[in-house]
């Protein structure tokens, strides 16, 4: 038997196709590479969100790979376009797991798309790391395969409502995308108001991947709100702000981070002045936090100077994932990666704190508020 095994080994080696025992046993792991899968909006009305999330992750991974990767393996990110549509995200997830044989999933963009993937990656026991969504449905009930790097929409809407109520605003409306993302944000606003014994004013909706806001504008104008909290993507939010202001509304507009801050500023142009956006990462144009300086250098080396909150989030999420891979060691398994990420309690990711544990996979609760100036700059 030993002689036969030796002969078989020499034969496979002669053809260059022998895998190490570890590589053969663990999907997505080779002697020299780790396959990571991503489904994101790379086309359609929300494309800038997906492209920026992908860019931030890629500049980090490219820099890492240029230095040899992690534990002598380079990381290959396979990104598939879902157009911000749940059905396509589900199809991409099956393809990434069953055809591309990825080791883990990373950097999905959106609540409805992430939720479409949830039963698939859970059934296949594939880690799901750093999605660009703050939905509570990815936090409760606890799922050991999900690791959220960013703060939740509940965290963001709590901060927004706190700011409004503190400044005396009571007539608050919500404009939300009519899907799981929009409803998650709406619930966050309602919870924050209830905590303060206040009731939400009027609500208005828009369909996903649509900028038809005529009905929403009419609904909001009738209520004359002092503030409108927007839970949608940049194109529809920009359309609503423009139409409301054209109609004479003096309402202030607040957005959660998923709106796509730079994209919203670009869409609005001079009309951006005074729009508030909650952020779950530091200012990408700053230089106080080491992770921001590292991000800027990596972007510059890759030929990009168009910094954004979303690409910084992609960079940070990739950095957190890689720290987990590093801690998991050379003998990498999916369970090993989960345990390694869970060991990151009070981890300093370059001035950005991350805390995971076996019972808590929500890494950050960081939320800051920024306001857009007339020239599109972000001010704290």
Separation CA 263–CA 43 (nearest Å): 14
Residue 305 placed within a domain: yes
3-state secondary structure of 107: coil
Query: Does 234 share its domain with 136?
Result: no
Q: 255: part of which helix (H) or strand (E)?
A: strand 252-255
pLDDT band (50, 70, 90) for residue 286: confident
Residue-range definition of the domain harbouring residue 267: 153-279
Last residue of a domain, one of 235, 254, 279: 279
pLDDT band (50, 70, 90) for residue 6: very low
How far CA 48 is from CA of 148, 242, 311, in Å, comes to: 21, 20, 10
pTM of the predicted model over 0.75? yes
Residue 370 placed within a domain: no
Last residue of a domain, one of 237, 259, 279: 279
For the range 355-359, what are the long-range contacts, defined as Cβ-Cβ under 8 Å and sequence gap of 24 or more? 356/147, 359/142
Q: What is the pLDDT of residue 184?
A: 96
Query: Does 147 share its domain with 73?
Result: yes
7 contact partners, CB below 8 Å, separation of at least 6? none
Separation CA 105–CA 121 (nearest Å): 8
Judged against a pLDDT cut of 90, whether residue 364 lies above it is answered with yes
Per-residue tokens: 91: 């199809």
Residue 16 placed within a domain: no
Separation CA 324–CA 104 (nearest Å): 12
Residue 109 placed within a domain: yes
- Contact (Cβ atoms closer than 8 angstroms) between residue 328 and residue 336: yes
pLDDT band (50, 70, 90) for residue 18: very low
Query: Does 193 share its domain with 143?
Result: no
Summarised one tens digit per residue, pLDDT across range 293-312 is 999 999 999 999 999 999 99
Judged against a pLDDT cut of 90, whether residue 178 lies above it is answered with yes
Residue 310 placed within a domain: yes
Last residue of a domain, one of 248, 279, 310: 279
């Amino acid at each position: 038997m030993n002689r036969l095994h030796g002969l078989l080994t020499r034969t496979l080696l002669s053809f260059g196709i022998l895998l190490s025992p570890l590589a053969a046993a663990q999907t997505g792991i080779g002697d020299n590479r780790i396959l990571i899968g991503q489904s994101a909006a790379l086309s359609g009305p929300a494309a800038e969100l997906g492209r920026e999330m992908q860019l931030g992750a890629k500049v980090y991974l490219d820099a890492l790979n240029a230095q040899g990767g992690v534990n002598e393996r380079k990381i290959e990110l396979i990104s598939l376009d879902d157009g911000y549509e749940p059905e396509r995200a589900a199809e991409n997830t099956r393809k990434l797991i069953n055809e591309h044989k990825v080791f883990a999933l990373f950097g999905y963009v959106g609540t409805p798309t992430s939720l479409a993937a949830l039963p698939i990656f859970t059934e296949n026991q594939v880690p799901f790391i750093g999605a660009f969504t703050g939905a509570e449905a990815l936090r409760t009930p606890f799922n050991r395969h999900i690791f959220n790097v960013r703060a939740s929409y509940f965290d963001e809407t709590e901060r927004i409502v706190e700011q409004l109520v503190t400044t005396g605003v009571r007539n608050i409306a919500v404009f939300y995308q009519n899907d799981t993302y929009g409803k998650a944000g709406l619930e966050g606003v309602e919870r924050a108001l209830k905590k303060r014994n206040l009731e939400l004013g009027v609500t208005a909706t828009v369909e996903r991947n649509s900028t038809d806001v005529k009905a929403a504008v009419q609904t909001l104008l009738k209520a004359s709100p002092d503030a409108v909290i927007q839970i949608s993507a940049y194109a529809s939010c920009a359309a609503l702000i423009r139409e409301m202001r054209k109609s004479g509304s003096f309402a202030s507009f607040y957005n959660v981070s998923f709106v796509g801050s730079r994209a919203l500023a670009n869409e609005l142009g001079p009309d951006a002045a005074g729009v508030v956006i909650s952020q779950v990462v530091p200012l990408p144009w700053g230089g106080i936090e080491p992770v921001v300086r590292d991000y800027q250098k990596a972007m510059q080396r890759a030929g990009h100077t168009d910094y954004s909150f979303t690409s910084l989030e992609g960079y940070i999420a990739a950095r957190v994932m890689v720290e987990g891979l590093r801690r998991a060691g050379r003998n990498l398994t999916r369970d090993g990666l989960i345990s390694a990420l869970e060991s990151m309690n009070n981890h300093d990711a370059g001035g950005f704190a991350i805390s995971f544990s076996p019972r808590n996979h929500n890494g950050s609760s960081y939320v800051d508020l920024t306001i857009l100036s007339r020239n599109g700059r972000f001010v704290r």
